[in-house]
């Protein structure tokens, strides 16, 4: 029997229980073992829960799990940065394999935790931290043996994609966000979703693996979707295009660029028809060419499913203990980020108008909002102009046209 210590019984933790319960026989047939949740760490022992739990397995003391010698795998699903990090570190030091869905922890402590796992000769797996249920990281690690990856690009946040899809269908931003929260897609603090922090964490993990060079959160330019308005959707739809929040890392001879930003995609883009909580990720390899991964990027069962694929790999001895973080030292050249941009400013003055006119390839509206498509420009130059004109973040929306 394989005993698991489950940390957290929220959306993801209860999904893990649900799948284990419904697939007990199949899991035994494949792995050759009964998989048993031996203890579950919760904050409140007396909380009423909508799922059946074996009596006596809940605890509010992490040490009960840490000190249990029969537990060989920890599934960390707390969603908490500080506690999650502490639990994972202690578990690895105590000789337990770890599976986590906690992208905040993986992103912040990636190098340290992968090195610790290597030193201890244990598995540290985090498939559920990027792309929800999509089997992405495992495939990426496999491709890395054969390919130089030159680009990673994708829709990595289900909540933002849900909001943007609903807005394109006429719903108000806040109503769409409320539904995404009710469906269990959003983070505890949905600011992490709409401001792009969650996408940035996932891109940091993906990019570090793909380029074999540590790329930190602060190496990635960040612009979210918080200031988008119905009028932006209207203009973008008139162009026969769709708007997505996209994370993109590209490597060049001189270095790499890394950015999370709203992007306008046309019908030929692989991202155009990615709706609601779906995620999609494009990898470019020098041998395999383009690979596109698509699936449920958020939600209870897809995320729990990803966790359990990691658990299966550990039980079947398929997980490596060596750190997958490479030793390349690439230069960050975000300063060279450029493109043609959609820009809407909800503040009109003669001065603003004449400056916008000077950078516009096309003026779409000049009444209560100024809306333009810019010429091809450096992102930094546009941001500098907005600063000089004292236009606050909530007064404009800026999105790059994909091509």
- Spatial contact of 253 and 150, defined as CB atoms under 8 Å apart: no
Does 193 interact with ligand HSE (rule: CB under 6 A)? Answer: yes
| Tokens coding 398 | 């800026």
* 3-class state of residue 126 by DSSP: coil
Q: How far is the CB of 140 from ligand HSE (least distance, A)?
A: 17
- Among residues 74, 298, 307, 356, the one that binds ligand HSE under rule CB under 6 A: 298
- Spatial contact of 257 and 372, defined as CB atoms under 8 Å apart: no
Stretch that binds ligand HSE, among 152-160, 170-178, 260-268, 351-359 (CB under 6 A): 152-160
- Among residues 76, 80, 166, 187, the one that binds ligand HSE under rule CB under 6 A: 187
* Angle, vertex CA 116, rays to CA 111 and CA 120, nearest 5: 150
Does 185 interact with ligand HSE (rule: CB under 6 A)? Answer: yes
- Among residues 8, 84, 132, 295, the one that binds ligand HSE under rule CB under 6 A: 132
Helix 197-211 × helix 103-120 angle, to 10°: 30
Does 280 interact with ligand HSE (rule: CB under 6 A)? Answer: no
Stretch that binds ligand HSE, among 91-99, 113-121, 157-165, 169-177 (CB under 6 A): 157-165
Residue of 39, 103, 153, 202 marked active site? 202
Does 155 interact with ligand HSE (rule: CB under 6 A)? Answer: no
- Closer by beta carbon to ligand HSE, 127 or else 193: 193
Does 159 interact with ligand HSE (rule: CB under 6 A)? Answer: yes
Q: How far is the CB of 202 from ligand HSE (least distance, A)?
A: 7
Q: Is 21 exposed, middle or buried (0-12, 13-18, 19+ CB in 10 A)?
A: exposed
Stretch that binds ligand HSE, among 37-45, 163-171, 186-194, 249-257 (CB under 6 A): 186-194
Does 100 interact with ligand HSE (rule: CB under 6 A)? Answer: no
Question: If we measure between CA atoms, which residue out of 39, 41, 69, 74 comes closest to residue 54?
Answer: 39
- Among residues 78, 91, 157, 369, the one that binds ligand HSE under rule CB under 6 A: 157
- Closer by beta carbon to ligand HSE, 116 or else 180: 180
Half-sphere exposure of 280 (CA within 13 A, CB side): 15
Does 127 interact with ligand HSE (rule: CB under 6 A)? Answer: no
Distance CA 254, CA 324 (A): 24
Q: Pairing mode, if any, of strands 256-266 and 241-251? A: antiparallel
Helices (H), 32-172: 62-66, 81-93, 103-120, 137-144, 158-168
Q: How far, CA to CA in Å, does 86 sit from each of 7, 36, 90?
A: 12, 24, 6
| 375 catalytic residue (yes or no) | no
Does 198 interact with ligand HSE (rule: CB under 6 A)? Answer: yes
Stretch that binds ligand HSE, among 56-64, 156-164, 253-261, 343-351 (CB under 6 A): 156-164
- Closer by beta carbon to ligand HSE, 106 or else 379: 106
Does 158 interact with ligand HSE (rule: CB under 6 A)? Answer: yes
Does 186 interact with ligand HSE (rule: CB under 6 A)? Answer: yes
Q: Is 347 exposed, middle or buried (0-12, 13-18, 19+ CB in 10 A)?
A: middle
Distance CA 106, CA 127 (A): 11
Stretch that binds ligand HSE, among 79-87, 153-161, 239-247, 248-256 (CB under 6 A): 153-161
Query: Which helix (H) or strand (E) covers residue 382, if one does?
Result: helix 379-388
Bridge partners, 58 (sequence order): 40
Cα 47 versus chain centre, distance: 30
**For the chain, what is the total number of helices (H) and then of strands (E)?**
14, 18
- Closer by beta carbon to ligand HSE, 154 or else 158: 158
Distance CA 218, CA 286 (A): 27
Stretch that binds ligand HSE, among 14-22, 24-32, 165-173, 184-192 (CB under 6 A): 184-192
Does 76 interact with ligand HSE (rule: CB under 6 A)? Answer: no
Does 319 interact with ligand HSE (rule: CB under 6 A)? Answer: no
- Among residues 260, 297, 323, 360, the one that binds ligand HSE under rule CB under 6 A: 297
Question: How many chain residues bind ligand HSE (CB under 6 A)?
Answer: 11
Binding interface with ligand HSE (CB under 6 A): 132, 157-159, 185-187, 193, 198, 297-298
- Indicate which residues carry an active-site annotation: 202
């Amino acid at each position: 029997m394989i005993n698991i210590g489950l940390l957290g019984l929220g959306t993801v933790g209860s999904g893990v229980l649900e799948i284990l319960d419904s697939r007990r026989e199949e899991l035994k047939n494949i792995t050759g073992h009964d998989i048993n949740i031996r203890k579950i760490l919760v904050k409140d022992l007396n909380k009423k829960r909508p799922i059946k739990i074996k009596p006596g397995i809940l605890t509010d003391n992490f040490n009960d799990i840490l000190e249990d010698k029969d537990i060989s795998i920890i599934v960390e699903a707390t969603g908490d940065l500080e506690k999650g990090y502490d639990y994972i570190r202690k578990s690895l030091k105590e000789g337990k394999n770890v599976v986590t869905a906690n992208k905040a922890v993986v992103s912040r402590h990636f190098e340290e935790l992968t090195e610790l796992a290597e030193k201890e000769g244990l598995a540290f797996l985090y498939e559920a931290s990027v792309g929800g249920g999509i089997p992405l990281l495992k495939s990426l690690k496999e491709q890395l043996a054969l390919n130089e990856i030159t680009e990673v690009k994708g829709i990595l946040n289900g909540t933002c994609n849900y909001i943007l899809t609903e807005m394109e269908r006429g719903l108000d931003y806040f109503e769409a966000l409320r539904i995404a929260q009710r469906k269990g897609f959003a983070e505890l603090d949905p600011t992490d979703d709409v401001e792009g922090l969650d996408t940035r964490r996932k891109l940091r993990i993906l990019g570090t693996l793909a380029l074999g060079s540590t790329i930190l959160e602060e190496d990635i330019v960040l612009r979210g979707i918080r200031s988008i308005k119905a009028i932006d959707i209207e203009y973008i739809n008139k162009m026969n295009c769709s708007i997505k929040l996209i994370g993109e890392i590209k490597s060049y001879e001189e270095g790499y660029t890394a950015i999370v930003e709203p992007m306008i995609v046309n019908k030929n883009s692989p991202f155009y028809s990615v709706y609601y909580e779906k995620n999609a990720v494009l990898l470019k390899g020098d041998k395999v060419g383009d690979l596109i991964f698509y699936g449920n990027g958020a939600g209870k069962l897809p995320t729990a499913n990803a966790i359990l694929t990691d658990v299966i790999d550990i039980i079947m001895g398929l997980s490596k203990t060596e750190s997958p973080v490479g030793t390349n030292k690439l230069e960050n050249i975000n300063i060279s980020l450029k493109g043609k941009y959609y820009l809407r400013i909800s503040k009109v003055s003669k001065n603003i108008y004449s400056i916008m006119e000077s950078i516009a390839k096309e003026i779409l509206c000049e009444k209560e909002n100024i809306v333009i498509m810019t010429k091809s420009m450096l992102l930094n130059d546009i941001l500098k102009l907005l600063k000089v004109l004292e236009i606050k973040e909530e007064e404009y929306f800026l999105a790059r046209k994909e091509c």
